[in-house]
């Protein structure tokens, strides 16, 4: 299957990075390289480091960027290990960081990866196929209580408990093995009126995917570490697709943009905290009408930008 992905908010991201042709940039979520390609085109003596934990993405980008030589360094790893990647390759501070926290179109459309609720496939949903935890493990082995919590917290699903109970009931008759098996359980668990709000499985699949790939785990910590590795005037650009992700990014940017973080009732500052960034986007940038017409998956994307002081 050809690796194709339409980069979300591509032009907005590239403009927000305010690229220095001689600078060093980090693409934490390389994917098919759509954003990275635009960055590379603007570099002269600069350098780009691209990270992705999906080996198919790495293989694709190694071929696509084979002619860039030392200007492009590609590393298979989790973006949460970005600091270690920089350290292991003798790279200090950078002039810009890009993070696209969404799943790629190729992963969704490759039904063998198990991300799609529209087509049948194995219950997988691993971005890194070498990791142990998969959607199969979550669906077949998690308790009702844990499933309910995950589906509600990560999917904002009001029928989380009913869906979790439906999963448990089905497990009594045998393993749940395929994506469409799970869709059928979800469909049976929610009221008929729910179909008017969109696909009944969308929120549950999102929640399970987030759990499988531990997408919320350590997000704030790595954003903070990346802010600390920015050169003065360097920018960090983050696209999120989930309200919890967006809130985490927003809060981290906000906390780094203020001087004192002491409780408001303290008469004087004792924390010694000083602002590290200026927030460029007071409100998140969202996809234009034109982009949404071409790529409906950009509908939930929110782009936030901060600049190192």
**What is residue 106's predicted lDDT score, i.e. its pLDDT?**
77
Please state, in angstroms and rounded to a whole number, the distance separating the CA atoms of residues 25 and 168.
47
Please state, in angstroms and rounded to a whole number, the distance separating the CA atoms of residues 33 and 161.
39
State the pLDDT confidence band at 167, using cuts at 50, 70 and 90: very high
Does position 3 have pLDDT exceeding 70, yes or no? no
* Span 81-110, average pLDDT: 93
Model pTM score: 0.90
Cβ atoms of 134 and 124 closer than 8 Å: yes
Cβ atoms of 80 and 86 closer than 8 Å: no
* Span 93-113, average pLDDT: 90
Please state, in angstroms and rounded to a whole number, the distance separating the CA atoms of residues 184 and 181.
5
State the pLDDT confidence band at 2, using cuts at 50, 70 and 90: low
**What is residue 18's predicted lDDT score, i.e. its pLDDT?**
97
Element containing residue 83 per DSSP (H, E)? helix 82-88
- Residue 247's nearest CA partner among 188, 189, 302, 174 is 302
* Span 274-295, average pLDDT: 95
Instruction: Write the CA distances from 201 to 92, 163, 176, 264, 268, integer angstroms.
Output: 44, 10, 15, 44, 52
First-residue to last-residue Cα distance in the chain: 44
State the pLDDT confidence band at 21, using cuts at 50, 70 and 90: very high
What angle do the packed helices 179-189 and 202-212 form, to 10 degrees?
A: 130
- Within 13 Å and on the Cβ side, how many CA atoms surround 67? 3
State the pLDDT confidence band at 4, using cuts at 50, 70 and 90: low
* Span 265-286, average pLDDT: 92
In the chain, the domains with their CATH numbers are 10-101+217-308 (3.40.50.150), 108-212 (1.10.150.170)
Cβ atoms of 162 and 146 closer than 8 Å: no
Highest mean pLDDT among 44-48, 52-56, 110-114: 44-48
């Amino acid at each position: 299957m050809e690796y194709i992905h339409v980069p979300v908010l591509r032009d907005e991201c590239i403009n927000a990075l305010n690229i220095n042709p001689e600078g060093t940039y980090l693409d934490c979520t390389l994917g098919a390289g759509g954003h990275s390609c635009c960055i590379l085109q603007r570099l002269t003596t600069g350098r780009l480091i691209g990270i992705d934990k999906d080996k198919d993405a790495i293989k694709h980008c190694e071929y696509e960027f084979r002619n860039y030589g030392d200007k492009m360094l590609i590393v298979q790893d989790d973006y949460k290990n970005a600091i270690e990647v920089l350290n292991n390759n003798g790279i200090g501070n950078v002039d810009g960081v890009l993070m696209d926290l969404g799943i790629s179109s190729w992963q969704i459309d490759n039904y063998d990866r198990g991300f799609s609720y529209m087509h049948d496939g194995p219950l997988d949903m691993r971005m890194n196929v070498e990791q142990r935890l998969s959607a199969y493990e979550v669906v077949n082995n998690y308790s009702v209580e844990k499933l309910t919590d995950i589906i509600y917290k990560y999917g904002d699903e009001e029928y989380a408990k009913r869906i979790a109970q439906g999963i448990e009931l089905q497990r009594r008759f045998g393993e749940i093995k395929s994506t469409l098996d799970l869709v059928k359980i979800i469909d049976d668990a929610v009221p008929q009126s729910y179909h008017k709000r969109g696909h009944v499985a969308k929120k549950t699949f999102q929640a399970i995917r987030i759990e499988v790939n531990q997408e919320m785990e350590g997000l704030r910590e790595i954003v903070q570490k990346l802010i600390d590795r920015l050169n003065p005037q360097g920018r960090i650009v983050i696209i999120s697709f989930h309200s919890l992700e967006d809130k985490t990014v927003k809060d981290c940017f906000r906390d780094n943009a203020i001087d004192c973080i002491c409780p408001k009732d303290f008469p004087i500052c004792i924390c010694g905290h000083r602002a590290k960034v200026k927030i460029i986007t007071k409100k998140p940038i969202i996809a234009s009408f034109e982009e949404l017409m071409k790529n409906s998956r950009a509908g939930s994307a929110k782009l936030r930008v901060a600049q190192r002081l």
